[in-house]
Amino acid sequence: MTISQAVARTAKASAAKSDTPDQNSGARQILNATAWLLRHRGYEATTTRAIAERVGIKAGSIYHHFPSKDAIVERVINEGVLLVHKAVMSALDALPKKATPRDRLQAAIKAHLLSSLEHSDYTSASIRAFAFLPPELRKTCRVERRRYEDIWQQLMKDASEAGYIPKDVSLDAARLMLLGAVNWAGEWYRPGRVPIDKIATDFAQIAFGARRT
Amino acid sequence: MTISQAVARTAKASAAKSDTPDQNSGARQILNATAWLLRHRGYEATTTRAIAERVGIKAGSIYHHFPSKDAIVERVINEGVLLVHKAVMSALDALPKKATPRDRLQAAIKAHLLSSLEHSDYTSASIRAFAFLPPELRKTCRVERRRYEDIWQQLMKDASEAGYIPKDVSLDAARLMLLGAVNWAGEWYRPGRVPIDKIATDFAQIAFGARRT
DNA sequence: CCTACCGATCGGTAGG
DNA sequence: CCTACCGATCGGTAGG
């Protein structure tokens, strides 16, 4: 699958979700509170009562907007993945046509880090809380996540063909190493210290060597 | 701090823990069950009743061996970090004296992956469950974890001086990228597919280029 | 190591 | 969106 095909599929999947709550609607406030809790406390600690408290309502009222806790969580996780997905696609599209595969990789790393560390609790939640979701829920959310990771497979392929990855190295290993590095960043990154731009540049340089100018 | 100093400190810390339960004692069975649950289900899902069920006792009986759930969890996490720590140190010590900094890095990656993916639920638990531990417990466990990560700081310094890391790249970024890659491997690795040896070789080659022979 | 229980909290519901 | 509640489950304890 090419990247433009991935975009088309993503747009389709996004359009298929009929109801997108306004920014200040009750449903959106519940989603925002859940995203924060998933990011900072994890799945089990994200209780309906904790969500309600952050919104300023009573726990029972949540069920006026959503059928279950897991429906809210699924929504948050999937929106999170989609946000990173779109951020990375936008960054790639904004690149000049003469951009090398290495430029594209670095732009993708930067966009992923920015969206998952700075821009949204949703994206961070989708990365951090995923591992210990209940099995069925994890399986459901894996679909959207896989769709996103396909982008990286294509980026790796292009980088490999351009000679940025040694021939005897598995592209899966390269992809998983890089995704590991950017996903794990949530465990140590603190705002206001090293700028994300510098982290992204360093990551790209370690993995793919100096920029070819 | 040199690596040999780190070994000395580790040995000291290990000796300071007076009571090490035998392999089949009640306490050890409880720790084993907790390690498995932390690895596969996370902190909150690791309930005293789930632990008891895996051991084949009743929940109340746990408190004959440990004062609280968190005391068990702390023990498991710290033992896990110490196991990876020792595995990596042993692998480095087993290297011939002529081993390059790059050889040492690759050996450390391999040892970390082996111990956290294949050899022990403790090591995997210490990596996967750490993020959502209750704040005080996380703070406590951070001490031993930091001690382990110091090894990597030294490895990076040696690799940098030997020219394996570009001069303008932050050594912290390099260390955190590599730790991210190996720690995140628990999210996708499945036994019996790609051998860990190959993963370790590929990771090292992506990060530090071809082996200098 | 067990029985029996505690106060608190969980996801979710009835009825308004 | 609230009150009031449900059955289940949580970490932990008393007393044996």
Q: pLDDT tens-digit profile of A65-95? A: 999 999 999 999 999 999 999 999 999 999 9
Contact B194/A at CB under 8 A: yes
pLDDT bucket at B19, cuts 50 / 70 / 90: low
- Tokens at residue A108, please? 């993708």
User: What does the mean pLDDT of chain A come to?
Assistant: 90
Residue A49 pLDDT exceeds 60: yes
Whole-model pTM?
0.89
Task: Provide the greatest CA pair distance for chain A.
Answer: 60
Q: pLDDT tens-digit profile of A192-204? A: 999 999 999 999 9
Span of A70-74, A103-107, B17-21, B46-50 with lowest mean pLDDT: B17-21
Q: Is the CB of A26 under 7 A from strand D?
A: yes
Q: pLDDT tens-digit profile of A156-177? A: 999 999 999 998 999 999 999 9
Judged on CB neighbours under 10 Å (0-12, 13-18, 19+), B182 is buried
CA distances to A31, A158, B118 from A105, rounded to whole Å, are 31, 9, 31
Q: Percent of chain A scored above 90 by pLDDT?
A: 83
A132, A49, A35: which is closest to A82 by C-alpha? A35
Look at residue A23 in the predicted model and tell me its pLDDT.
73
Span of A23-32, A74-83, A88-97, A179-188 with lowest mean pLDDT: A23-32
Contact A22/B at CB under 8 A: no
Gap from A49 CA to C11 C1', Å: 10
Rounded to 5°, the CA angle A205-A209-A211 comes to 80
Q: pLDDT tens-digit profile of B179-206? A: 999 999 999 999 999 999 999 999 999 9
Look at residue B25 in the predicted model and tell me its pLDDT.
83
Q: Which of A45, A169, A180 sits opposite B184 (nearest CB)?
A: A180
Neighbours of A133 (CB within 10 A): 22
- Taken in order of first residue, the domains within chain B and their CATH numbers are 3-20+76-208 (1.10.357.10)
Nucleotides of D under 7 A from a protein CB: 1-5, 9-15
Contact predicate B84/B121, CB 8 Å: no
